[in-house]
Amino acid sequence: MHELELTHALRSLVALLAIVNPLGAIPLFVAMTDGQSPLQRRHTSRVTSIAVAITLLIAAFLGRWILALFGIDLNAFRVGGGLLILMMAIQMLQGRPNRTRQTSEETEEGVEKDDVAVVPLAIPLLAGPGSLSAV
């Protein structure tokens, strides 16, 4: 029985790592922390890691309660998360540019923003709909 639990834990960890994809976030991290010193980048990566861990732990332990509070069925949430991942995958396969546009105020705010550790790096980039559905 103990071996079965270890196998399940390893499979879950591999699946979660595939969905979170920390290696895929490296180029975005480098781009978003451009201009920061190595010390600031280390701090940003630590804060991002802690925020992702806290978010996923909250989802794992309190997720069902939070969904019940809003009257959302767990299976409906799983289907919704799966559809979101499917839509993102189809969009990636089509290779079309993103149609989302920014106003000049939003662009200026993004340039002035110093701390990108929690938003957008931790949430929704790493701890996004897919990883929240997985836990």
Summarize the confidence of residues 92-119 as an average pLDDT.
73
3 state DSSP class of 128: coil
CA-derived radius of gyration, the chain: 17
pLDDT at 113 (0 to 100): 61
Residue 100 banded pLDDT, cuts 50, 70, 90: low
Task: Give dist(CA 53, CA 82) in Å, integer.
Answer: 21
Instruction: Give the per-residue SS3 of 10-42.
Output: HHHHHHHHHHHCCCCCHHHHHHHCCCCCHHHHH
Q: Is 67:135 a contact under the CB 8 Å cutoff?
A: no
Neighbours of 91 (CB within 10 A): 11
Summarize the confidence of residues 100-118 as an average pLDDT.
70
Residue 132 banded pLDDT, cuts 50, 70, 90: confident
Residue 106 in tokens: 């939003």
Summarize the confidence of residues 63-70 as an average pLDDT.
93
Angle at 86 between CA 33 and CA 131, to 5 degrees: 50
What does the pLDDT look like over 32-53, one tens digit per residue? 998 899 999 999 999 999 999 9
Task: Give dist(CA 15, CA 8) in Å, integer.
Answer: 11
Is the pLDDT at 1 greater than 70? The verdict is no
Mean per-residue pLDDT of the chain: 86
Extents of the domains making up the chain: 40-98+105-135
Say which residues have a Cβ less than 8 Å from residue 66's Cβ, sequence separation at least 6: none
